[in-house]
Amino acid sequence: MSESTVDPVEAIPFAVRDCALISLATGLKAQNLREFCDILQRVPLESIEHHLWGRLLQPRFDEPEYNNDFASWAYHGLHDKTLAERLSMVVPTDFADQEALRQELIEVLEERLDQCEMVPWAKKDQQFHFLRSQIVVFDSGLRFSRPVDLIPYLAHLSTGSVYYHFIDARNRTTDRCDDFSAWLAGCGPAYQPLRERLCGVDPYFSSLQNLRQIVTALFQSFFEEAAQ
């Protein structure tokens, strides 16, 4: 592998960062699909991000039927399975920015409103409460020059680090990928198979603990195969 890897001295070390998140109420809530659509047009973008991604750092059950809060409410609150399925397949990384993502979500909602004879309503105690989150990012101080050095540490990453490097990264990296993949791209072509495996992980249906296990296993198996 050595001939196709970048000299560790030349590669930029992987800086392990960590983060913590707290939810805040926006005071906006929807009782029916029309209200939901109207509020989505004016809600802060951080709120959309919270309901698509930030929920991963919040108390949640990790066997969800739907992979974002909007889809989950469409099903459990409005009992509209069609809408829930469509909202589930709006993938945030498909859009250039969050404003474009908002417009796509509104498109899906407007289309559904056009199809409905009556506006779907939720019960009194099943309103959708729009939240936003405050995120604090900090440096763990850890640096890794070689991908192999990460292996013993990965299993002990905090869930905040997993969120920052595997989820939050998709809003920061050029390729809309996780930080590990972005870093490996600069470490030489030998790591391309590992990059591809990491990019193939669907982060929507896993808890952060589970994602940590998956990433650790991918690194371990890659280097075990390389050693053989």
Contact status: 140 vs another protein (CB under 8 A): yes
Taking the least distance from each CB to another protein, the nearer of 12 and 25 is 25
Residue 54: CB minimum distance to another protein, A: 11
Place of tokens 């990460």: 150
What are the two backbone dihedrals, phi and then psi, of residue 70, each rounded to the nearest 5 degrees? Answer: -65, -45
Residue 178, token pair as written in the block: 């996780």
Residue 157: CB minimum distance to another protein, A: 7
- Size of the residue set binding another protein (CB under 8 A): 33
Residue 1: CB minimum distance to another protein, A: 29
Rounded to 10 deg, the angle between the 192-199 and 208-227 helix axes is 160
Taking the least distance from each CB to another protein, the nearer of 117 and 125 is 125
x/- binding map, residues 172-191, to another protein, per CB under 8 A? --------------------
Contact (Cβ atoms closer than 8 angstroms) between residue 166 and residue 203: yes
Contact status: 65 vs another protein (CB under 8 A): no
Contact (Cβ atoms closer than 8 angstroms) between residue 43 and residue 130: yes
> Can you tell me which of 33, 131, 150, 167 binds another protein, judged by CB under 8 A?
131
> Can you tell me which of 9, 59, 96, 174 binds another protein, judged by CB under 8 A?
59
Calpha distance 29→9 (Å, rounded): 53
Helix (H, G, I), strand (E, B) or coil at 91: coil
Contact status: 203 vs another protein (CB under 8 A): no
192, containing H or E segment: helix 192-199
What residues contact 177, with CB distance under 8 A and at least 6 apart?
169, 170, 198, 199
Contact status: 17 vs another protein (CB under 8 A): yes
Contacts with another protein, residue ranges (CB under 8 A):
17-18, 20-25, 27, 46, 59-63, 125, 127, 129, 131, 134-140, 156-158, 160-161, 207, 209
